[in-house]
A and B are shown apart, each in its own frame.
Chain A
Amino acid sequence: MTDFDFIVIGGGHNGLTAAAWLAKAGRRVLVLEKRATLGGVAATEELVPGFHFNIGAPDARLLSPAVLDGLDLKKHGLEFIESEIAAFAPQADGRGLTLWNGAEKNASEISRFSKDDQAWKEYSRQTSRFAGVLAKMACLRPPTIKNNPLGLMLAWGRLALQVRALGGRDMMQFMRVLPMSGYQYLNEHFETEALKGLLSVPGVTGSTQGPRASGTGFMLFYQQMGAARQVSGGVGQVSAALAKAAQARGAQVRTSIGVKRILSERGRGIGVELDSGEQISAKAVLSNADPRTTFMDLLGAPQLEPRIVRRLRGLKLRGSTATVHLALSGLPDFPAAGGDQARLTGDIVICPSLDYAEKAFDDAKHGRISAYPILIARIPSLLDPRLAPTGQHTMSIIFRYAPYKLAESNWDAERERLGDLAVETMAKYAPNLKSLILNRRVITPLDYEREYGLAEGSEMHGQMGLDQLLLQRPVPGFVGYRSPVDGLYLCGAGAHPGGGVTGLPGLNAAKQALKEIR
């Protein structure tokens, strides 16, 4: 008799989703989280007394309805605050470009800049159709290259029919644009640099690639799978609700317990050994850690075939995101918002053109921090005042690109310089920003690795590039949540469909494990 049916390593949102789903099926589940806080990088922490920050993921816009409803998360305390504003992009000339969530207003807003308002209608029609297909794809276990079970083939067959149902024209477009670069896709639609720059940002999320890289078009649709909404109390509440859902069904969730290694016997995962030396057995182990940590560190290369080890070494993590958290004594004033505070409730994006984004990437490509970075900022305390003391605010600025591997320096030396650069850059659009800063915390890719266990600081557990998606995610040969070791499953963002607070890798992995482990 094993101690548990399933052990889940890592209490990120995907690990907790998997645990809740397994517990819901009546299985005995144990979740082990190394940190004191659940959520991984989808956590909310009081970095400065009184100020609560979303450490990495700023929201849960991609959280799948299958997880939200399937686990009754609302019943377990999850609340959303809808935001009207999707993004606000202040420009150097003093103007600001605002995009609302699915609103008709966008066309007229864009017409202030150019004639792209007509193209916008076709663009939003097409992207939402394509995102719809991706959302379906995200819920399916990806096929392997050979020998797929009939049920899976049928499921993908159904999806292929849905793609066909887009109609000949859209179907061909879908196949044409999926591997495309965001650069090309946006240039095909628009002329306005401000608009193209803003829209290119989701395409380069989660990879060290510029908008000219093919496949960044895919990410553009991927990020469109959900609508911007803020989590009440901070994004960490998603994990809190998931933990409650899991515990309500009998799962045990233990924090501050590190796993030293995954125990395996004759090619089968059978349990874990804790940092304390204690061993816990289970019928199967699900790892929410990234693939490199899971297989190379926790399991160990000697347990794997050399061929598989070679593929794992080829895994491109390449984290290049840093976050600058600011505790502010008041609300920054963006003149481009014209005094309309509401415009600051979505993403505040500094990326004035496609070339700006590409040049930011050029620096990263050569191992340098972007001199002119892409910034994506949030002021969550605007919609959710509890996150900061009365009248004061939290601002988290995502900084791209901050390559994990610096060619001529190291992150301990560059941390505060990056913080200064982020603030200086943002202050060009919000002149009073500097005077409001009470405290600042910079999290570099190295910190994400050290503190949050993300290898190379990759928030997506592996770059979301064309070569690491679908049947190549995380690496060719063990897609579909399985691993080379029977009874060891991957349930984090390194598995299909990938990163973002979707819950889908966790859900899909749990379903797979339930099928195979009796």
Chain B
Amino acid sequence: MAETKRYDAIVIGGGHNGLVNAAYLAKAGLSVLLLEQRPMVGGATVSEEIYPGFKFTVFSYVVSLLRPEIIRELELPRHGLAILPLESTITPLPGGDYIYRGTDPHETFRNIQRFSPRDAEAYREYGHAMYQMAKAVKYILSIRPPDPTSLHPRELMALLKLGKHFLNLDEQHMYTLAKLMTMSSADFLEEWFEFDPLVATLSASGIIGTFLGPRSPGSAYVLLHHYMGEIDGVFRAWGFAKGGTGGVAEAIASSAQELGVEIRTNAKVAKVATRNGRATGVVLENGDEFEAKQVVSSLDPKLTFLKLLDPKELPSDLVGSISKFETQGSSGKVNLALDALPDLACLPGEGVHLKGAISISPSVAYIERAYDQAKYGQFSEKPYIDIIIPSMIDPQMAPPGKHVMSCFVQYAPYHLRESDWEDQREAFGDAVVNTLSEYIPNLKNIILNRQVLSPWDIEQKIGLSGGNIFQGELSLSQLFFLRPSPGYAQYRTPIRGYYQCGSGTHPGGGITGAPGRLAAFEVLKDARK
């Protein structure tokens, strides 16, 4: 017997944006049901014990972008959120040397100075400049994108306000901003630095999660995007959530539940029910039905529009543009359970450098070659890898003396040209381990268990179309009032009472929570009408 129950609002998907959205709706007094297909909430923001005793940060692995107002307003620290700082980034170099960038600016300065005194100076200025830039752009993260085609006074005012914000910037900053919006990350960084491996390792932030190389125009924006994080008010510091990124989701879920959100897991939504162009509720795959005045989807745009709805209910323009929305994933994940601590060839033994990130990005050409393979439908045999060892930061992630290692790998294109991921998954895992072994000689001997996730696997496991970790490429044509589609960037859809709140909407991907929060305000605006 199928059950039917009525709510003010239903949120589809329990990723961090869905959770944030639900919490804000409940906070405003709505009765809210959140439905998650998996046994646990979190979406890509989860920690799972894949191998007994070892907790993997299965998908996303670092936190920085989570909006401070959300941490504050949802009282997340009280609900268990604790962010542990990542100490440093070490970039091993082919000759056995390394670049070390840590929390102590003097130490970083001395380290870079060994390669280029000019770059060591520039590094300070660069950090400052990016801080200024991120501050200038931060405003955009907190507003609903205006609709430039509308002549409604509200939209014109919003445009004017936006224009004013930018005109108030210093001229130099405006030029730097224009560059960041249009350049490639390597070109941008080469205006600052001369030491190629430094350019390479910094440019990596410009390619993470995108189908771009460090020399592709547009990647400088992604660089900036990754600079917009704050931890406890400290700009651009990256951290690791206690308990893994799952700790973030659990804290938001706990806050949401306290505010009255009902969370149901193992509840996969099949369809959004509509009547006369209005959403009336949802139907689960098991046939259960729930009614609500408002339905919010935190799934990616393709699922939100084309799967949960019958495309016939939508304007053909929108169906066209959502079909064209670029969601091809480019990155994979390799999680390792280790019997002992990995030993870096360039800096053997235990040390503070293992409490930060290890970046395999020895030269710009290296990353470009990795990208070249991906362009033609192969995974990179020598990929860019961003590694952290969560158990060094939070010992509870692994049994005493043992470790977990989280490796973010690029490039792994969703579409393989001459094979498929079920066939290539382990070969990809081998390529990663082989590449890592060049820098970590003891690695192969200490692997107890290995989890390899291709974009295809990410799609299978958590539903992200194309396995794209940002729910859609962060390219200029898919940002701000164009995200996910021109005319539908204000979290609404053509179906009244049906909203979107995932990373596929402004301001995009990363654990920001911003889409979830901004969407909640739009839902509440309509609810009050």
Indicate if B1 sits at the interface (CB-CB under 8 A): no
Per-residue CB contact flags for chain B residues 20-57 toward chain A (1 = under 8 Å, else 0) read 00000000000000000000000000000000000000
B324 contacts A188, CB within 8 Å?
yes
Q: Which of A146, A214, A471 contacts B475 (CB 8 A)?
A: A214
A-chain residues with CB within 8 Å of residue B139 when the two chains form the complex = none
B-chain residues with CB within 8 Å of residue A291 when the two chains form the complex = none
A212 contacts B375, CB within 8 Å?
yes
CA of A89 to CA of B216, assembled, Å: 28
With A177-B477, A358-B375 as known contacts, state yes or no: A145 contacts B324, CB within 8 Å. no
Nearest CB to that of A314 among chain B residues? Answer: B191
B175 contacts A176, CB within 8 Å?
no
The smallest beta-carbon distance between A157 and chain B, in angstroms, is: 12
B179 contacts A467, CB within 8 Å?
yes
Nearest CB to that of A160 among chain B residues? Answer: B148
A-chain residues with CB within 8 Å of residue B149 when the two chains form the complex = 164, 168, 171-172
Indicate if B217 sits at the interface (CB-CB under 8 A): yes
With A172-B487, A176-B482, A358-B375 as known contacts, state yes or no: A214 contacts B218, CB within 8 Å. yes
A146 contacts B477, CB within 8 Å?
no
Indicate if B174 sits at the interface (CB-CB under 8 A): yes
CA of A164 to CA of B156, assembled, Å: 13
A-chain residues with CB within 8 Å of residue B191 when the two chains form the complex = 310, 314
CA of A314 to CA of B175, assembled, Å: 13
CA of A211 to CA of B235, assembled, Å: 36
CA of A215 to CA of B487, assembled, Å: 22
Per-residue CB contact flags for chain B residues 476-488 toward chain A (1 = under 8 Å, else 0) read 1100001000110
With A169-B317, A179-B477, A476-B175 as known contacts, state yes or no: A362 contacts B486, CB within 8 Å. no
A467 contacts B487, CB within 8 Å?
no
Q: Which of A169, A213, A359, A471 contacts B178 (CB 8 A)?
A: A471
A-chain residues with CB within 8 Å of residue B372 when the two chains form the complex = 362
A175 contacts B148, CB within 8 Å?
yes
Per-residue CB contact flags for chain B residues 87-123 toward chain A (1 = under 8 Å, else 0) read 0000000000000000000000000000000000000
Indicate if B182 sits at the interface (CB-CB under 8 A): yes
B182 contacts A476, CB within 8 Å?
no
Indicate if B422 sits at the interface (CB-CB under 8 A): no
B187 contacts A172, CB within 8 Å?
no
Q: Which of B167, B183, B317, B475 contacts A467 (CB 8 A)?
A: B183
A209 contacts B217, CB within 8 Å?
yes
With A146-B167, A168-B149, A173-B486 as known contacts, state yes or no: A476 contacts B218, CB within 8 Å. no
B interface, how many residues as a size bin?
20 to 34
Indicate if A159 sits at the interface (CB-CB under 8 A): no
B-chain residues with CB within 8 Å of residue A146 when the two chains form the complex = 167, 171, 174
Chain A positions 212-226 with a Cβ under 8 Å from a chain B Cβ: 212-215
Indicate if B365 sits at the interface (CB-CB under 8 A): yes
Indicate if A316 sits at the interface (CB-CB under 8 A): yes
Q: Which of A169, A184, A358, A466 contacts B182 (CB 8 A)?
A: A466
CA of A471 to CA of B171, assembled, Å: 13
Indicate if A366 sits at the interface (CB-CB under 8 A): yes
Chain B positions 134-166 with a Cβ under 8 Å from a chain A Cβ: 148-149
B-chain residues with CB within 8 Å of residue A188 when the two chains form the complex = 324
CA of A342 to CA of B303, assembled, Å: 50
CA of A37 to CA of B7, assembled, Å: 81
CA of A180 to CA of B217, assembled, Å: 10
A-chain residues with CB within 8 Å of residue B288 when the two chains form the complex = none
Indicate if B326 sits at the interface (CB-CB under 8 A): yes
B368 contacts A366, CB within 8 Å?
yes
B171 contacts A175, CB within 8 Å?
no
Q: Please classify the interface of chain A as helix (H, G, I), strand (E, B), loop, or mixed, using the class held by over half of its residues.
A: helix
Indicate if B215 sits at the interface (CB-CB under 8 A): yes
CA of A212 to CA of B215, assembled, Å: 11
Q: Which of A168, A180, A214, A477 contacts B487 (CB 8 A)?
A: A168
B-chain residues with CB within 8 Å of residue A177 when the two chains form the complex = 477
CA of A180 to CA of B486, assembled, Å: 14
Per-residue CB contact flags for chain A residues 165-195 toward chain B (1 = under 8 Å, else 0) read 0001101110111011000100010000000
The smallest beta-carbon distance between B171 and chain A, in angstroms, is: 5
Chain A positions 48-97 with a Cβ under 8 Å from a chain B Cβ: none
B482 contacts A175, CB within 8 Å?
yes
CA of A169 to CA of B149, assembled, Å: 8
Q: Which of B171, B375, B477, B487 contacts A145 (CB 8 A)?
A: B171
Nearest CB to that of A147 among chain B residues? Answer: B171
With A175-B148, A467-B179 as known contacts, state yes or no: A366 contacts B217, CB within 8 Å. no
B178 contacts A472, CB within 8 Å?
yes
The smallest beta-carbon distance between B33 and chain A, in angstroms, is: 34
B-chain residues with CB within 8 Å of residue A35 when the two chains form the complex = none
CA of A302 to CA of B406, assembled, Å: 51
CA of A168 to CA of B372, assembled, Å: 37
B-chain residues with CB within 8 Å of residue A175 when the two chains form the complex = 148, 482, 486
A-chain residues with CB within 8 Å of residue B217 when the two chains form the complex = 209, 213-215, 465-467
The smallest beta-carbon distance between A9 and chain B, in angstroms, is: 27
B-chain residues with CB within 8 Å of residue A365 when the two chains form the complex = 215, 368
The smallest beta-carbon distance between B408 and chain A, in angstroms, is: 22
Nearest CB to that of A469 among chain B residues? Answer: B182
Chain B positions 336-359 with a Cβ under 8 Å from a chain A Cβ: none
A-chain residues with CB within 8 Å of residue B475 when the two chains form the complex = 179-180, 214
B-chain residues with CB within 8 Å of residue A169 when the two chains form the complex = 317, 486
The smallest beta-carbon distance between B191 and chain A, in angstroms, is: 5
CA of A177 to CA of B174, assembled, Å: 23
- Which of B187, B368, B369, B476 has the most A CB atoms < 10 Å from its CB? B476
CA of A145 to CA of B365, assembled, Å: 34
Per-residue CB contact flags for chain B residues 210-248 toward chain A (1 = under 8 Å, else 0) read 000001111000000000000000000000000000000
With A209-B217, A213-B217, A365-B215 as known contacts, state yes or no: A472 contacts B148, CB within 8 Å. no
CA of A476 to CA of B218, assembled, Å: 17
A-chain residues with CB within 8 Å of residue B482 when the two chains form the complex = 172, 175-176
CA of A172 to CA of B369, assembled, Å: 35
CA of A314 to CA of B182, assembled, Å: 14
Indicate if A355 sits at the interface (CB-CB under 8 A): yes
Nearest CB to that of A213 among chain B residues? Answer: B217
B178 contacts A145, CB within 8 Å?
yes
Nearest CB to that of A172 among chain B residues? Answer: B486
B-chain residues with CB within 8 Å of residue A180 when the two chains form the complex = 475-477
CA of A214 to CA of B187, assembled, Å: 14
B486 contacts A145, CB within 8 Å?
no
The smallest beta-carbon distance between A464 and chain B, in angstroms, is: 11
Nearest CB to that of B372 among chain A residues? Answer: A362
Q: What 18 new A-B contacts, CB under 8 Å, besides A176-B482, A476-B175?
A: A145-B174, A164-B149, A169-B486, A171-B148, A172-B149, A176-B477, A179-B476, A180-B475, A180-B476, A180-B477, A214-B217, A215-B182, A355-B375, A467-B179, A467-B182, A472-B178, A472-B182, A477-B175
Selected A-B contacts with CB under 8 Å, 5 pairs = A145-B174, A169-B317, A214-B477, A359-B376, A466-B218
Q: Which are the 3 A-B pairs with shortest beta-carbon distances?
A: A172-B486, A179-B476, A467-B182
* Residues of B near any A CB (own CB < 8 A): 148-149, 167, 171, 174-175, 178-179, 182-183, 187, 191, 215-218, 317, 324, 326, 365, 368-369, 372, 375-376, 475-477, 482, 486-487
